[in-house]
Amino acid sequence: MKQSLQLKLGQHLTMTPQLQQAIRLLQLSSMELSVEIQEALDSNMMLELAEDSEDFGDADLATASSESNEAQEEQPFEIGGGDPSEQEQPASASDIPEELPVDTQWDEIYDTLPSSGMQASQSDASDSEYESAVSVERSLEEHLMWQINVLHLSDSDRAIALTIIDALNHDGYLTETIESIGAALQSDAGDSPEEDEIGAVLKLIQGLDPVGVGARDLGECLTLQLAQFDPATKWLNEARRCCTEHMDLLGARDYNQLSRRLKLSKPALGEVMSLIQSLNPRPGSLYNTERPEYIVPDVFVRKHKDRWLVELNSETMPPLRVNSAYAGLIKRADNSEQNSSMRAHLQEARWFIKSLQSRSETLLKVATTIVERQRAFLEHGDEAMRPLVLHDISEALEMHESTISRVTTRKYMHTPRGIFELKYFFSSHVSTTLGGEASSIAIRAVIKKLIAAENNVKPLSDNKIANLLSDQGVQVARRTVSKYREAMSIPPSNERKRLA
């Protein structure tokens, strides 16, 4: 076999550290980005917060985003007008067309960002600790244990009570049988408490707060709550009979059968239903320990003089710059370990600032394009939502779909109609009889509107809703209507039925 040398010319994509860092920062949420920035500030001596805007005049700070944005502050960003960084001369006010549908302001992206966003966790640490302490809520198990500790129970009864409390779910229902609880309490010698003893402790727990806790089914839960009412309460006996004897009819909302079984007229049955509906079917939910998740919008959208303005949230990313004092200590001809380390930190700081700037530019471009495509939604609501897929945005911005997917994941837009994830504006479509397309979000809005206006005595079935949509030119199957209805947590027609 003869060996030889060959020269080939080819192209391939290399994932440089800078590119990897830019991609990683692009897919971070605002909260994760704040943590990433704080870690970079702690680990890199060359990075610092740009607290004083007048300090940006040094030559060593050329990598900071201030100089690139000075021209941008003079003008709004025009959609489809190319990369703002490639514009050498700022456009005058006369160059901006009057019919420009969407404007984008760049004056609050980098230089004018207040530094309070990153300093709040440091300067207001005591306030955050107080807020965290106040927001801690007692769980259902802790609330019941607090009441058990007040009672004087024997060791055996206390063990039974602890086992029963451990068998309660988040709604406060007992998920284990008396037999399984006895088997769990069986000692090594084979002794276990009697079922009557376990039942007595269960009755004790069912008398604790919240009322209805420890019930084994919905009927028992409602009955326990009705037992706390004044015996002179009107319709109390009928409500108790309904919860103990006719729960199947109550669940099916078969009001005709209930009226006959209870021998009540429709108005009287309505009073009984009102009393039952005042009860809590999930008493344990009052002590839900899940903490709320707060959403910080990445983009603000507002209307100003018939134009929709898109702005980045200045609080999500503080302005960063290179520390001029440390950068001035670097010596070009010095190859010492200390000087090389400082040079490496400087290069990393420049890469990090550039990656943050690229992230902000990409996010703003994508959000602006989405607002341009979904102006009808901002003007008229969900029913005017247009079909939109990732390919539409990637084609308009000449970016890859994976980039658009990273930008729109866990990024939120604050609009006059509420806060939405950027993914919310992307939806599939359904063909119409006129040859057009209707967004699935718009169809959901129409279904919700039809159900809200239906007759409660005779609610609309999924098949009837499909026929009504067909009359409006939207061809959807019954199973599609059912899928959309379930996605909106709307019960079926039999569960939406009400008394006249």
Mean pLDDT, range 148-174, rounded to an integer:
92
Q: What percent of the chain has pLDDT over 70?
A: 79
pLDDT reading at 66 higher than 70: no
pLDDT reading at 124 higher than 70: no
The pLDDT, as a whole number, for residue 77 is 43
Task: Work out the burial of residue 94: count CB atoms within 10 Å of its CB; fewer than 13 is exposed, 13-18 middle, 19 or more buried.
Answer: exposed
| Residue 334 pLDDT level (bands cut at 50, 70, 90) | confident
Q: Contact at 8 Å (CB) between 272 and 234?
A: no
The pLDDT, as a whole number, for residue 102 is 53
**Euclidean distance between CA atoms 184 and 196, whole angstroms:** 16
**Euclidean distance between CA atoms 37 and 49, whole angstroms:** 10
For residue 216, what is the enclosing H or E element?
A: none
pLDDT per residue as tens digits for the range 366-396? 999 999 999 999 999 888 888 898 999 999 9
- The torsion defined by the Cα of 440, 445, 448 and 452, in degrees rounded to 10, comes to -160
Q: Which residues pair with 49 in a beta bridge?
A: 320
pLDDT reading at 74 higher than 60: no
Whether the ω angle into residue 210 lies within 30 degrees of 0, i.e. cis, is: yes
The pLDDT, as a whole number, for residue 68 is 39
Q: Contact at 8 Å (CB) between 367 and 357?
A: no
pLDDT reading at 82 higher than 50: no
* Torsion sign, CA atoms 209, 211, 213, 214: positive
Q: Contact at 8 Å (CB) between 257 and 242?
A: no
More confident residue, 53 or 207: 207
| Residue 70 pLDDT level (bands cut at 50, 70, 90) | very low
Record the pTM: 0.66
Mean pLDDT, range 221-246, rounded to an integer:
93
- Would you kindly state where each structural domain of the chain is located, as residue ranges? 17-80+99-108+296-406, 140-287, 429-496
pLDDT per residue as tens digits for the range 24-37? 888 888 888 889 99
Question: Looking at 46-55, 97-106, 276-285, 296-305, which range is the least confident one?
Answer: 97-106
For residue 301, what is the enclosing H or E element?
A: strand 299-304
Number of other residues whose CB lies within 10 A of the CB of residue 58: 14
Largest CA distance in the chain: 107
Q: Contact at 8 Å (CB) between 159 and 131?
A: no
The one-letter amino acid at 447: I
Whole-number Cα distances in Å, 280 to 140, 213, 365:
15, 10, 48
Whole-number Cα distances in Å, 294 to 159, 414, 420:
40, 13, 13
Q: Contact at 8 Å (CB) between 213 and 144?
A: yes
pLDDT per residue as tens digits for the range 310-332? 999 988 888 889 988 888 888 77
Q: Contact at 8 Å (CB) between 227 and 239?
A: no
| Mean confidence (pLDDT) of the chain | 80
Question: Looking at 80-89, 98-107, 148-157, 389-398, which range is the least confident one?
Answer: 80-89
Q: Which residues contact 176 (CB under 8 A, 6 or more apart)?
A: 167, 184
Mean pLDDT, range 430-440, rounded to an integer:
71
| Residue 208 pLDDT level (bands cut at 50, 70, 90) | very high
pLDDT reading at 486 higher than 50: yes
The pLDDT, as a whole number, for residue 116 is 41
Q: Contact at 8 Å (CB) between 425 and 388?
A: yes
The pLDDT, as a whole number, for residue 358 is 92
Q: Extract long-range pairs of 149-155: CB within 8 Å, 24+ residues apart.
A: 151/204
pLDDT reading at 190 higher than 70: no
The one-letter amino acid at 409: T
The pLDDT, as a whole number, for residue 168 is 94
pLDDT per residue as tens digits for the range 294-311? 888 999 999 988 899 999
The CATH number for 429-496, chosen from 1.10.3720.10, 1.20.1440.230, 1.10.10.60, 1.10.10.10, is 1.10.10.60
